[in-house]
Amino acid sequence: MKKTLLAKNYPSLEPKSVPKTLVQKIADAKRAVKGAYKLYGNKLCIFWTGGKDSTVLMDIMRRTLGNRIVSNLPTVYIDTQLDFQDVYDFIEKMKKQWNINLIRERTTPKEMAKYNALKKKSERVVLASLYKIILLKRAVKKYKLPAIVIGIRWDEHAERIAEKYLSPRKDHVRIHPLLPWHEKDIWAYTKKLKVPYIALYDKGYRSLGEKEFTNQGTKEGGERSGRAKGREVIMKRLRTLGYF
């Protein structure tokens, strides 16, 4: 019943070929956030990586629901312990600045030992991806999170093109307010509203993942050109397992 009600508060699923202005996309995202909060209240969870997309989503939620409300919502950061130090520094800085109710779900010593024992980079990149899935599922179960707002976009990866605004899972529903946004929309919003972001983006990084598997991107290669090829190739399999 809740999923049906939530859908009524969601942007109409117009064909992706129908262009929308950034102003319209922002309005759609705000309406989606309002609808989700109306149904789930303080049980609504925010998925945050510290990256440009999830930080824009956090800013939209703060402007839509108010700082006090968003500060009370659980915000999950899944920590594989493999991110850039810049990411960890940004997470801590914004946690204080925005008063974020941070839930840090972290890999265990046993999980890290298994990762560190792998000799092949191709094996480590797959395991790092699986850990993100495991950690998110662990957080959902541990904290009984019924609904998670996530800032993924259709144009980030070919395997995300079929994603829906509302994505029901076995034990929770995922809500994606930024699906029709483009990379240029994220930066236009960020610059115009002076949203904080990680300095790595100014150094040529376009999409941030684990430090070992992330390099500067290229204009020719697309937004995720700096990401490990191994993960990009098996993205379909990962999404079947629960990846974003």
pLDDT tens track for 138-151: 999 999 999 999 99
Q: How far apart are CA 99 and CA 93, in angstroms?
A: 10
Measured distance CA(5)–CA(45) in Å, rounded: 18
| Percentage of the chain exceeding pLDDT 90 | 67
Which residues are bridge partners to 102 per DSSP?
Answer: 75
Domains and CATH numbers, the chain: 21-241 (3.40.50.620)
Tokens of 175: 């809500």
Across 70-93, average pLDDT? 97
pLDDT band at 164 (very low <50, low <70, confident <90, very high): confident
Q: What is the pLDDT of residue 215?
A: 85
Confidence of residue 110 (pLDDT cuts 50, 70, 90): very high
Decide if pLDDT at 195 tops 80: yes
Residue 5: pLDDT band (50, 70, 90) is low
Q: How far is CA 52 from the centre of its chain?
A: 9
Assess contact for 76 and 46: CB atoms under 8 A.
Answer: yes
Order across the sheet with 173-175: list the strands. Answer: 102-106, 75-79, 44-47, 147-149, 173-175, 166-168
The label of the residue with tokens 């941070």 reads: 102
The band of 13, judged by pLDDT with boundaries at 50, 70 and 90, is very low
Q: What is the pTM of this model?
A: 0.88
Helix ranges, the chain (H): 2-8, 22-40, 52-65, 67-72, 85-97, 109-117, 121-143, 183-192, 229-233, 235-241
Q: Contact at 8 Å (CB) between 214 and 84?
A: yes
pLDDT of residue 180: 92
